[in-house]
A and B are shown apart, each in its own frame.
Chain A
């Protein structure tokens, strides 16, 4: 009887809190409706659409060359890989023979994009768990890559380097030299990342055992990229459905089995090493040849359905094109990795603290324009 009066006097209430659309941890305009009991997360409900531009609808009106430009604006951190996805779809549909030079350059730039994206992710990951210095370390190395991209194609972020049929320009004469310089530089800097954050006891305490995703759930929720691989689910498109020059290189798929925040973190760090090794294998023997094969000015895909998967820095990007033989697709669907990865946030964040949610979200590596296509 005593206890009942006590509990009724001191009842606790769950309350709602809006995380975002303007919130430092949501990395853009994602809004999370949190139901919280004290510090413990009871429910996470994402509210999307703050920057939805309906790219899929715009694609139904545009030509294929124009669509390539739109894809930059989805996952802007792997802009080049997104471009490549659309180009590959078109090329496969037209059954164009792409020169080896194009394939190799696409793969090198794709992997450099992945490193650049992971550098930014690493900086932001540190910032989300409260270590502000990581941000500047990540950006220091990313800046070198952006310089290389700028010299190659004139843009630092949304590169627009690929066109259906090849590349817009040939690589800059300095490209090979500077990429090699970068690899040498980054090989000394990546261990520094480990010393600053990976081996930090506070970071490990924050990350190990937090936001655990089992392999079954990862598959069921359609997790891909480092999120899936951290749960032991071998989902690297580069391994299972190689495209461009990826069938010519050897690399290890970064796989871990823990499925927690720390595993997702380590998978991304290992991916940077793997990407460097891929670039090293290709950079010395870029084949000579054309950088582009001629296509019709108006590209019309044969009637049919085409699906192309690529591995962006975030996971599996799918381009699903239904063509009726006109200059624009009848329907074009982008299967974005972030969208599926976001859908599992509620599943893994419930029961954790607010700090866990932020750390978990950081390792999902959400890019909001990728979700709000």
Chain B
């Protein structure tokens, strides 16, 4: 499916989605966090989108907001889509888990939790993956400071 068709189809599901294509080779769609799980579920299970392969799940610290970027691909139609969601909450950010839609999200979400402190609602085993349980702070956030381990130029 072409990007325009995808945009038209997905845009019809909810009025709160914003699309962008500039500065990226994929079609980008920003989803508000309260609609994320529904939209994601449709993206996978809709016959026309069928985005069944979540190949990348990244946490991003946008400065003010914390966000998660999902890169999706359909193994049948070979079209791709980037879904973005973000929250302005920095103290206790919560985003719905998509672990029940793509099993690979279990580990990727744990990684994001580990480095960005984003909690995932409904994740079965949300705990630190790489760092020790008593690690203070979330290293990949832009405001993280560690005078011992980080060399800042």
Task: List residues of A whose CB falls within 8 A of some B CB.
Answer: 48-49, 52, 54, 56-57, 61, 217, 219-222, 224, 233-235, 240, 302-307, 309, 316, 318, 320, 322, 331, 333, 335, 339-340, 342-344, 347, 372
Contacts and interface: CB of A to CB of B under 8 A. Distances in A.
Given A56-B140, A307-B71, A335-B56, A48 B130 contact: yes
B65 to A, nearest CB: 13
Nearest to B149: A54
Interface residues of B, number: 37
Nearest to A309: B55
Interface in B138-153: 139-140, 150-153
A343 B108 CA distance: 9
13 contacts: A54-B139, A221-B104, A233-B75, A235-B75, A305-B24, A305-B82, A309-B55, A318-B55, A322-B60, A335-B55, A339-B107, A340-B108, A344-B103
B104 A331 contact: no
**B69, B107, B115: most-surrounded residue (chain A CB, <10 A):** B107
Contacts of B107: 339-340, 342-343
Contact of A219 (B53, B111, B140): B53
Contacts of A52: 130-131
Interface string B32-53: 0000000000000000000011
Given A219-B53, A233-B75, A303 B131 contact: no
**A220, A303, A316: most-surrounded residue (chain B CB, <10 A):** A220
Contacts of A48: 129-130
B4 to A, nearest CB: 19
B60 A316 contact: no
B26 interface: yes
Contacts of B54: 222
B25 interface: yes
B78 to A, nearest CB: 6
Contacts of B129: 48-49
A343 B104 contact: yes
Q: Which 4 A-B pairs have the closest CB atoms?
A: A304-B23, A222-B104, A49-B130, A343-B107
Given A48-B129, A222-B53, A333-B58, A318 B103 contact: no
A333 B56 CA distance: 9
Contact of B103 (A217, A233, A342): A217
B136 interface: no
Contacts of A302: 23
A372 B69 CA distance: 20
A304 B23 CA distance: 4
B19 interface: no
B23 A303 contact: yes
Contacts of B25: 306-307
B60 to A, nearest CB: 5
A220 B104 contact: yes
B96 interface: no
B22 interface: yes
B55 A222 contact: yes
A307 B47 CA distance: 26
Given A333-B58, A344-B103, A307 B26 contact: yes
A224 B130 CA distance: 22
Interface string B105-119: 011100100010000
A219 to B, nearest CB: 5
Given A222-B102, A344-B104, 20 more contacts: A48-B130, A49-B131, A52-B130, A57-B140, A221-B103, A221-B104, A235-B75, A305-B23, A305-B28, A307-B24, A318-B56, A320-B58, A320-B69, A320-B71, A331-B61, A339-B107, A339-B108, A342-B107, A343-B103, A343-B104
Contacts of A219: 52-53, 75
B136 to A, nearest CB: 15
B138 to A, nearest CB: 11
**B56, B131, B132: most-surrounded residue (chain A CB, <10 A):** B56
